[in-house]
Amino acid sequence: MIKEILVVDDNPDIRALVSNILEEQKFNVRNAANYDQAVFEINKKLPDLAVIDIKLDRADKDGIDLLKLINKKDKSIPVIMISGHATVQIAVEATRLGAYEFIEKPFSKEKILNYINRGLESSALKKEKDIIENKLFHSFELIGKSPSIIKIKKIIDKLSTSESRILISGPTGAGKELVARKIHKNSSRSKEPFIIINAALLKENTYEKELFGEEFDDGNISFGALERANKGTLLIDEVSEIPFETQANVLRVLIDQKFKRLNGSKDINVNIRLISSTSKNLVELVKINKFREDLYHRLNVMPIELTSLASRTEDIPLLIEYFKKKLAEINGVQQPKIDIKNDNLYTYNWPGNVRELRNLVERITILSSNETKSDINKLLGDILNPSDPIANQDLLEKSLTSPLKEARKHFEKEYLTTQLKKNHGNISKTADFIGMERSALHRKLKELGIKGIN
C-alpha cells in the first residue's frame, strides 16, 4: 500500500523540494502552505507520516502545535520536524512532545529520505506489535470450571442477541473488562468500536470532556468516548467514580441518546450499548447519596457478578496452563515448568485476582528460562510469600517447644486446611488425595476445629 505523507512549510521552494523528493520515491504527497491549511488537511485525513516546519505563517501557532494536534489524534504517526532557525532547546522540546526526528535546514535528499523510511518502518513495526499484543491479550478466554464461571459463560451466551445495558461487579482484577469484551464480541455490534473509559483514572475536571468531547475556538474537535463508541459498545470502568454532578448528564444521554460537546451548540446523536463495571457496592453508594439511584437502575438492567479468585481456587490450574501458553507465545520463550500442585498457589489470598495470577505467570515465564521445577517452586514461594514470616517463625517455635502431640496437631491443621483450599472445600476429593476415608476426615476436621472452606 502506497504511503501518504503530509508536507507543511510556508516556504514554497522547500515545500516543492521535499514533495519532489517524495514523489520520485512513489509516495503520495499532500501539501499545506500555512498553519490553517495544515489543520484542514490533518482533520480531513491523517497521513502515514508528516514533515512539518516549525516556523509557519502565524505568530501564535507553529509546527509544534501541529505536532500536538497529530499526537492527540494518533500517537503512532511519525512526525519529522524541520527548521532553519533551530536551537537545542527547540529540538529537545519537539522530541519531548513526540517528534520522531528533528532536521536542520539545509538538508540532503539522502538524509530526509533516510529519516522518512525509518519513521515509516518504525511505525509499521509498532502497529504490527500492537496488533499481535491486542490479538493475544484481548482474545483471552474466560477460563474456569467453577460454578460461578460456568454461570457467567451462560449469561454471556444469552446476551448475544440482547441490547440490554449491563452492570458488571466484582473485585479488582477479576476479569470485568474481559467479560465486557466477550459480550461485545458476541453481539451484533462486534464489527463496530469497543471503547473503554476508566473513570477511576480521570482527573476531577476532565470527566465531561472525556465523555462528551470538546469544541475549540480554532475549529478543532476533541471527540469524547460516547462519540467514538457510536454504533458500538462503551465500557465505563469503575463507574462509581464519576462525579455526582456528571452522573445527571450521563443519565440524560441514556434517556435521549444525544448530547452536546463541551462549548458546542449542536446535538450529537449516538447509538451505543453501554456496559458499566464497578468494584464498589453501588447500592451502598446510593444509600449515602454518592451515586444517583435513577442512574443505578438505568445501568443495572442485566447484572453480572464476578467472584474473587480465592473463592474459586479450582480454576487456578486451568488459568495457569492457559496463561503459560499465551505468555510464552507473546515473549517468544518456552513455557515454564510451573507445578500446579504447589501449595502456595492455593493458600495465597490473591488480592489482585486473575490479573495478579496472569502477572505472576508472566514474571515466571520471563525469569525462569531453563530453570528446574524445584527452582520455579522456590521462585513461586519467594514471589507469593503466602504468610507472614514472623507468624511462620512463631508457629515453628511453638511446634518445637510443644509436646509431640501438640506439634502434630499444629501441623495437621495447617496441612488439612491447605488441602481443603486446593480442593475448594470438597471433602471427597481431599480425602482421596491424602489417602483417608471420608468419614475419618470428617472426624479429624471436627477434632481440629476446621470448619467448611469455600
Q: Would residue 152 count as lying in a domain?
A: yes
Task: Identify the CATH number of the domain in which residue 355 sits.
Answer: 1.10.8.60
Q: Are residues 414 and 374 in the same domain?
A: no
Grouping H, G, I as helix, E, B as strand and the rest as coil, residue 205 is coil
Split at pLDDT 50, 70, 90, the class of 105 is confident
Q: Are residues 320 and 413 in the same domain?
A: no
pTM greater than the 0.85 cutoff: no
Among the listed residues 257, 260, 278, the one whose alpha carbon sits nearest the alpha carbon of residue 171: 278
Q: Are residues 406 and 376 in the same domain?
A: no
- Looking at per-residue pLDDT, the higher value among 403 and 422 belongs to 422
Please report how the helices 147-158 and 176-186 are oriented relative to each other, as an axis angle in degrees rounded to 10.
Answer: 30
Q: Are residues 425 and 332 in the same domain?
A: no
Q: Are residues 105 and 121 in the same domain?
A: yes
Q: Would residue 103 count as lying in a domain?
A: yes
Q: Are residues 39 and 119 in the same domain?
A: yes
Residues linked to residue 262 through DSSP beta bridges, in sequence order:
214
DSSP assignment string, 281-328: -HHHHHHTTSS-HHHHHHHTTEEEEPPPGGG-GGGHHHHHHHHHHHHH
What cell does 303 get?
A: 447484572
Q: Are residues 371 and 393 in the same domain?
A: no
Task: Identify the CATH number of the domain in which residue 70 sits.
Answer: 3.40.50.2300
Residue 201 has pLDDT above 60, yes or no: yes
pLDDT in tens, 217-241: 877 788 899 999 999 999 999 999 9
- Looking at per-residue pLDDT, the higher value among 418 and 151 belongs to 151
Task: Identify the CATH number of the domain in which residue 189 sits.
Answer: 3.40.50.300
pLDDT in tens, 72-89: 888 889 999 998 876 677
The full length of the chain comes to 454
pLDDT in tens, 144-183: 999 999 999 999 999 888 899 999 999 999 999 999 999 9
Q: How many whole angstroms separate alpha carbon 278 and alpha carbon 310?
A: 19
Q: Are residues 119 and 235 in the same domain?
A: no
Q: How many whole angstroms separate alpha carbon 361 and alpha carbon 373?
A: 14
Is the Cβ–Cβ distance between 309 and 354 less than 8 Å?
yes
Q: Are residues 36 and 175 in the same domain?
A: no
Burial class of residue 316, CB neighbours in 10 A (0-12, 13-18, 19+): buried
Split at pLDDT 50, 70, 90, the class of 441 is confident
Q: What is the pLDDT of residue 411?
A: 60
> Which domain, by its residues, includes 35?
4-127
Split at pLDDT 50, 70, 90, the class of 344 is confident
Q: Are residues 41 and 115 in the same domain?
A: yes
> To the nearest 10°, the Cα dihedral for 357, 358, 362, 368?
30
Among the listed residues 229, 192, 223, 188, the one whose alpha carbon sits nearest the alpha carbon of residue 209: 223
pLDDT in tens, 6-59: 999 999 999 999 999 999 999 999 999 999 999 999 999 999 999 999 988 888
- Looking at per-residue pLDDT, the higher value among 112 and 130 belongs to 112
Q: How many whole angstroms separate alpha carbon 75 and alpha carbon 188?
A: 30
CB atoms within 10 A of CB 263: 12
Q: Are residues 102 and 36 in the same domain?
A: yes
What are the E-state strand segments in 166-319? 166-169, 194-198, 214-215, 221-222, 233-237, 258-260, 267-269, 273-278, 302-305
Q: What is the pLDDT of residue 431?
A: 78
Q: How many whole angstroms separate alpha carbon 94 and alpha carbon 97?
A: 5
Is the Cβ–Cβ distance between 221 and 215 less than 8 Å?
yes
Contacting residues for 337 by C-beta, under 8 A, at least 6 apart: 368, 371, 372, 373, 376
Average pLDDT over the chain, rounded to an integer: 85
Residue 202 has pLDDT above 90, yes or no: no
Grouping H, G, I as helix, E, B as strand and the rest as coil, residue 70 is helix
Number of domains in the chain: 4
Q: Are residues 151 and 74 in the same domain?
A: no
Contacting residues for 344 by C-beta, under 8 A, at least 6 apart: 380, 381, 384, 386
